[in-house]
């Protein structure tokens, strides 16, 4: 008996008190809770954690890509793991790491909880994997010869290469530190005489290689038709030839543009047209007059004859604009901030008995992310109000005839009544500012008639001619 007691005491010493639970796993992604978070950090040198809400549409859209990224890393034998935390259930964890919107994604290295790095790249599997590899691998690829340097330069629209004859010099170390700080541009470093000779350098230096692409929406012709065609499809050349054949009939009237829908740099333009990769090949037409208006063919047939027929009907004024809309979520009105899509916008915004305040946002917009927690608090403030409704609409995926959005976030107030009035908000983007505006019936903070819109050009997808930033689109004008 004494021996058993001694063994029990020994086991108590060997086993840590309150041993953390092992994390569960779903589709290769670790499911973390308060009782398993610490253990996951201890067991995995590199851990990417998504804090999500089950009702969040963006979280739902991210989920399959997040799982693909996890599977890809696992297949490569990587020590990087992906995890997720339901922030609505694990409120203390969410608060500990400053989660104010969904999804929030943070990268933990070597179990360090003090300063996890905010994930800043795109939301496709390849984006996630590339970002993680840059954060865990060498900040700059070592280029041993001219062929390696040339391959890197060709791999991306923008590439930075450091040329240092002594790769251990202070200047080389500073270059590598700079490379670590930049997530979305590939860096290379070389001390090879072969590489110096190829790029005609005689001394140390840093060179930025940038491919120049013509602007996608520029020039005199204001009607463009775009073919979104992945180069990976078996009948790629046939479809491209059909498109080129149709182009000859509309010279000077419609600009024909081909876009490789597989290329990662083109995902923003697909999003702008409400397209997903799996929906391509596809054709869309856009007019670039005072308002950008989009048109969609009735048929998915991409023969030359069908494309000509579509263009002719457009020129004859027989095609109606195509307004994008997401499906209406079942829980669109269950949260303090109501979710609007194209299909329910008219019914909610122009309800004669309600005063409706709407944020038109883009998921990728930094200003929108900053506004999100304030907008959520505003929703909570008026959750039970008899005639004030706080709402939001993703304007990259939904369009309505009554309102044209040119920048994000755009805030508009739809007062009760039969006049279908719309008031632009131009006041402070604070909870108090919004409350004053609503309590004053849309007066305090309203934009004057001659006020210009608050164009946040660093965040918006403004694709009209005159955009100074070069469009990084893999496309050809036909």
Angle at the Cα of 183 from the Cα atoms of 180 and 184, rounded to 5 degrees:
140
Determine contact, residues 108/41, Cβ cutoff 8 Å.
yes
Strands 292-295 and 104-109: unpaired
SS3 399: coil
How far CA 367 is from CA of 106, 124, 457, in Å, comes to 19, 21, 11
Backbone angles phi, psi at 85, to 5 degrees: -130, 125
Helices (H), 389-458: 431-439
How far CA 403 is from CA of 399, 400, 410, 421, in Å, comes to 8, 6, 11, 11
12 included as an active-site residue = no
What tokens does 233 get? 């499809």
56 included as an active-site residue = yes
**What span, in angstroms and rounded, lies between the C-alpha atoms of 49 and 107?**
6
In 344-375, which positions are buried (b, 16+ CB within 10 angstroms) versus exposed (e)? Answer: bbeebbbeeebbbbbbbbbbbbebbbebbebb
365 included as an active-site residue = yes
Comparing CA positions, the residue from 125, 261, 130, 265 lying closest to residue 186 is 130
Q: Bridge partners of 206? A: 162
In 72-111, which positions are buried (b, 16+ CB within 10 angstroms) versus exposed (e)? Answer: ebeeeebebbbbbbbbeebeebbeebebebbbbbbbbeee
Determine contact, residues 142/161, Cβ cutoff 8 Å.
no
**What span, in angstroms and rounded, lies between the C-alpha atoms of 246 and 305?**
7
**What span, in angstroms and rounded, lies between the C-alpha atoms of 179 and 177?**
5
How far CA 54 is from CA of 51, 82, 154, in Å, comes to 10, 17, 41
For residue 309, what are the contacts with CB-CB under 8 A and spacing of at least 6?
Answer: none
SS3 117: strand
Going by the DSSP 8-state scheme, the letter that residue 235 receives in this structure is T
What tokens does 229 get? 């065609």
Q: Which of 12, 280, 311, 368 is catalytic?
A: 368
Annotated catalytic sites, by residue?
Answer: 56, 59, 365, 368
């Amino acid at each position: 008996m004494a021996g058993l007691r001694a063994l029990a005491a020994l086991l108590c010493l060997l086993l840590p008190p309150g041993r953390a639970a092992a994390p569960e796993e779903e589709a290769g992604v670790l499911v973390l809770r308060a009782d398993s978070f610490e253990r996951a950090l201890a067991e995995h040198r590199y851990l990417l954690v998504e804090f999500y809400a089950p009702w969040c549409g963006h979280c739902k859209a991210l989920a399959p890509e997040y799982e693909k990224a996890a599977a890809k890393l696992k297949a490569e034998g990587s020590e990087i793991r992906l995890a997720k935390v339901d922030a609505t259930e694990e409120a203390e964890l969410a608060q500990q790491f400053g989660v104010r919107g969904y999804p929030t994604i943070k990268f933990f290295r070597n179990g360090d909880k003090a300063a996890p790095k905010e994930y800043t790249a795109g939301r496709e599997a390849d984006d996630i994997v590339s970002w993680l590899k840059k954060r865990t691998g060498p900040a700059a690829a070592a280029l041993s010869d001219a062929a390696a340097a040339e391959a890197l330069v060709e791999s991306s629209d923008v590439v930075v290469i450091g040329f240092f004859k002594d790769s251990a010099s202070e200047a080389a170390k500073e270059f590598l530190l700079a490379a670590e700080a930049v997530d979305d541009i590939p860096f290379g470093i070389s001390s090879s005489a072969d590489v110096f000779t190829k790029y005609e350098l005689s001394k140390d230096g840093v060179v930025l290689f940038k491919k120049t692409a013509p602007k996608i929406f520029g020039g005199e012709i204001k009607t463009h038709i775009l073919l979104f065609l992945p180069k990976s499809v078996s009948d790629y050349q046939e479809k491209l030839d059909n498109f080129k054949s149709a182009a000859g009939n509309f010279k000077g009237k419609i600009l024909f543009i081909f876009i490789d829908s597989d290329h990662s740099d083109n995902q923003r333009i697909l999003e702008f047209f409400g397209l997903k990769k799996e929906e391509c090949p596809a054709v869309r037409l856009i007019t670039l007059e005072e308002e950008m208006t989009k048109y969609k063919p009735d048929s998915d047939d991409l023969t030359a004859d069908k494309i000509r027929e579509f263009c002719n009907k457009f020129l004859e004024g027989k095609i109606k604009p195509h307004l994008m809309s997401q499906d209406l979520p079942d829980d669109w009105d269950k949260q303090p901030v109501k979710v609007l899509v194209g299909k329910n916008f008219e019914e909610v915004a122009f309800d004669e008995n309600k005063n409706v305040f709407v944020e038109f946002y883009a998921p990728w917009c930094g200003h929108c992310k900053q506004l999100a927690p304030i907008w959520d608090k505003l929703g909570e403030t008026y959750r039970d109000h008899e005639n004030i409704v706080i709402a939001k609409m993703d304007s990259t995926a939904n369009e309505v005839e009554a309102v044209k959005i040119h920048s994000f976030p755009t805030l508009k107030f739809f007062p009760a009544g039969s006049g279908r009035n719309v008031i632009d908000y131009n006041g402070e983007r604070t909870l108090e500012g919004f409350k004053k505006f609503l309590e004053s019936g849309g007066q305090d903070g309203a934009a004057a008639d001659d006020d210009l819109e608050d164009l946040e050009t660093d965040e918006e997808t403004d694709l009209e001619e005159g955009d100074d930033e070069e469009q990084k689109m893999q496309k050809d004008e036909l």
